Amino acid sequence: MKILVTGGAGFIGSHVVQALLNRGDEVVVVDNINDYYDVQLKKDRLKMILQEVTFYELDIADLEGMRKVFFDNKIDQVCHLAAQAGVRYSLENPFAYEKANNVGTLNILELMKEFGVKDLVYASSSSVYGGNKKTPFSVEDNVDRPVSLYAATKKYNELIAHVYHHLYGLNCLGLRFFTVYGPLGRPDMALFKFTKAILEDKPIDVYNFGNMKRDFTFITDIVDGVVRSLDRVSEVKYSVLNLGNSNTVQLNRFIEIIEKELGKKAERNLMPLQPGDVPETFADIEKTKEVLSWEPKVGIEEGIKKFIDWYKGYYSKNYYG
Ligand SMILES: NC(=O)c1ccc[n+]([C@@H]2O[C@H](COP(=O)([O-])OP(=O)(O)OC[C@H]3O[C@@H](n4cnc5c(N)ncnc54)[C@H](O)[C@@H]3O)[C@@H](O)[C@H]2O)c1
């Protein structure tokens, strides 16, 4: 299989590419290596896969550039993970989301239609559930009330994927990821920020006064779900599935596990819920189990330990010698 992975220098993308290479797939990567967060981390992820992939440093919103990628490579499947991620940043820079997530995803669908590429697996997000009160969140629940622009772009991606499935017979499987964490993780996310601040004796911002709840999902479980989706998308034809650990953890508890693992107490700066954020996420994964025969395997203690081991190793040269 020759698989195009967009966002392949990203956190989830780089792990997915590694897994595909390990089992012998050919991989084409598109990533614009933007500076939303530390570019060096993206370059380091890329270094691990660069020798084995065809890499294009390119914006998915560039239709002509993307057309060349499809023209130059006989692509069998697309795994579309590139996006402007982050809920809070979408209040600061809405147009980055419009460009990467809306225009970028439309380009991918149009080019798949044009080049006769049938299978698409793409990243959606638990944020589409907005402030829904009923938990766990089921893919049958109403998701018409997003509370951030990021969430709205992810919902838009699901809607246009359905249109291309309906009109042009594309097989589209959307995956609503729930707070993904693990080695090589994103510097803008809580686990990374808390670990860094605690090690540097700086205070951490604890939103919703520590009462936030998140369904933290370890990266290897996400990769397993993405790879199974690629294998099954042509039979499934169209679906949207939750990929979450289905075990929601309160923020205070999450911080306690980090403290225990680091052997250090955090200085907590208690703050209210931030605009655009949701108080709780919790995945109902019954349909995912049925469609993908998938089940999450890594619990929060084990996952945090693996992240911290990676973090200390990766940054020891620079900070903690
Ligand atoms: N990490 C999570 O908890 C989480 C949760 C829900 C959904 N998601 C979604 O999963 C996907 C991967 O997320 P991630 O955590 O790996 O984020 P990431 O930011 O680490 O990865 C995204 C990659 O896409 C690239 N990119 C962004 N805009 C681009 C553009 N216009 N053209 C080309 N490349 C571009 C970035 O440079 C980055 O390397 C995203 O679609 C994200 O919205 C992630």
Q: What is the pLDDT of residues 187-197, one digit of tens each?
A: 999 999 999 99
Would you call 164 a catalytic residue per the annotation? no
Residue to probe by mutation, ligand 1, list 41, 177, 281, most atoms within 8 Å of CB: 177
265 lies in a domain? no
Residue nearest to atom 1 of ligand 1 (CA): 180
- 242 CB near ligand 1 (under 6 Å): no
Please give the DSSP secondary-structure letter assigned to residue 5. Answer: E
Burial of 91 (0-12, 13-18, 19+ CB in 10 A): middle
| Ligand 1 touching residue 281 (CB < 6 A) | no
Residues 6+ apart with CB under 8 A from 236: 171, 173, 229, 291
Tell me the CA distances in angstroms from 177 to 122, 167, 276, 284, 290, one per residue in order: 10, 26, 17, 12, 17
**Using a 6 Å cutoff on CB, does residue 226 contact ligand 1?**
no
Tell me 280's DSSP state. B
pLDDT in tens, 293-315: 999 999 999 999 999 999 999 99
Residue 291 in any domain: the answer is yes
Nearest ligand 1 atom to the CA of 99 is 31
179 lines ligand 1 (CB under 6 A): yes
Of all protein residues, whose CA lies closest to atom 2 belonging to ligand 1? 180
Residue 102 lies in a domain: yes
Q: Give pLDDT, residue 320.
A: 43
- Residue 318 in any domain: the answer is no
Instruction: Answer whether 280 contacts ligand 1 (Cβ < 6 A).
Output: no
199 lies in some domain: no
Q: Which residue has the tokens 């969430």?
A: 151
Tell the burial category of 310 from Cβ atoms under 10 Å away from its Cβ (0-12, 13-18, 19+).
Answer: middle
The one catalytic residue among 56, 150, 156, 311: 150
- pLDDT at position 287 is 98
- How many Å apart are CA 252 and CA 319, to the nearest integer? 26
Q: Does the residue 270 lie in any domain?
A: no
User: Which pLDDT does position 319 carry in this prediction?
Assistant: 47
Q: Is residue 16 part of a domain?
A: yes
CA angle 86, 89, 91 (to 5 degrees): 125
Residue nearest to atom 43 of ligand 1 (CA): 85
Distance CA(223)–CA(262), nearest Å, equals 26
Check which CATH number belongs to the domain holding 223 and give it: 3.40.50.720
From first to last of its 321 residues, the chain has per-residue pLDDT tens of 999 999 999 999 999 999 999 999 999 999 999 999 999 999 999 999 989 999 999 999 999 999 999 999 999 999 999 999 999 899 999 999 999 999 999 999 999 999 999 999 999 999 999 999 999 999 999 999 999 999 999 999 999 999 999 999 999 999 999 999 999 999 999 999 999 999 999 999 999 999 999 999 999 999 999 999 999 999 999 999 999 999 999 999 999 999 999 999 999 999 999 998 999 999 999 999 999 999 999 999 999 999 999 999 999 865 443
Instruction: Supply the range of the domain harboring residue 55.
Output: 2-181+215-246+276-297
Domains held by the chain: number: 1
User: What is this structure's pTM?
Assistant: 0.97
Identity of residue 203: P
Closest residue by Cα to atom 39, ligand 1, is 10
Radius of gyration from C-alpha coordinates of the chain: 19
Burial class of residue 42 (count of CB atoms within 10 Å of its CB; 0-12, 13-18, 19+): buried
What's the mean pLDDT when you consider all of the chain? 96
4 lines ligand 1 (CB under 6 A): no
Let me know if residue 266 belongs to a domain.
Answer: no
Single-letter residue type at 72: D
Contact 198, 259 (CB under 8 A): yes
Whole-number Å distance, alpha carbon 265 to ligand 1 midpoint, is 31
- Per-residue pLDDT of 32-47, as tens digits, reads 999 999 999 999 999 9
